Chains A and B, each alone.
Chain A
Amino acid sequence: MKQAAVALIAGLLFGAGLAFSGMGDPARVQAFLDLFGHWDPTLAFVMGGAMIPMALAWLVQKRLARPFACESFDLPGTSLLDRQLVAGAVLFGAGWGIGGLCPGPAVADLAIAPASAGIFVAAMLAGMGLHRITTR
Chain B
Amino acid sequence: MPLQGLFGGLLIGLSAAIMLLGLGRIAGVSGLTARATGIADSGAPRGLAIAFVLGLPLGALAVSVVTGGVETQFPASALQLAVAGLLVGFGTRLGSGCTSGHGVCGMSRLSRRSIAATAIFMGSGFATVAAMRLGGWL
Interface residues of A (CB under 8 A from B): 3-27, 30, 33-37, 40-43, 45-58, 60-61, 64, 66-81, 84-104, 106-113, 116-117, 119-132, 135
Contact = CB atoms under 8 A, between A and B. Distances in A.
Contacts of A64: 21
A66 B20 CA distance: 10
Interface of B: 1-27, 29-30, 33-34, 37, 39-40, 44-45, 47-64, 67, 70-75, 78, 80-96, 98-100, 102-114, 116-118, 120-130, 132-133, 138
A63 to B, nearest CB: 11
B60 A108 contact: yes
A118 B32 CA distance: 18
Majority-rule SS of B interface residues: helix
Nearest to B117: A89
B8 A92 contact: no
Contacts of A8: 51-52, 54-55
A98 B83 contact: yes
Given A20-B4, A33-B125, 5 more contacts: A8-B52, A36-B133, A66-B24, A93-B120, A102-B98
B87 A13 contact: no
Q: What are the 3 A-B residue pairs with the smallest beta carbon separation, nearest first? A: A11-B55, A88-B95, A49-B9
B89 A128 contact: yes
B39 A57 contact: no
Majority-rule SS of A interface residues: helix
B84 A95 contact: yes
Contacts of A48: 6, 9
Given A98-B80, A104-B100, A123 B85 contact: yes
16 contacts: A14-B52, A26-B74, A30-B129, A36-B133, A42-B1, A49-B7, A70-B22, A72-B24, A75-B24, A78-B106, A85-B120, A89-B91, A93-B124, A98-B75, A124-B86, A129-B39
Given A97-B124, A126-B89, A26 B75 contact: yes
Contacts of A111: 57-58, 60-61, 64
A25 B52 contact: no
B109 A78 contact: yes
Given A19-B60, A91-B94, A110-B57, A68 B82 contact: no
A74 B15 CA distance: 17
B133 A37 contact: yes
Nearest to A31: B129
A109 B74 CA distance: 10
A26 B91 contact: no
A126 B34 CA distance: 11
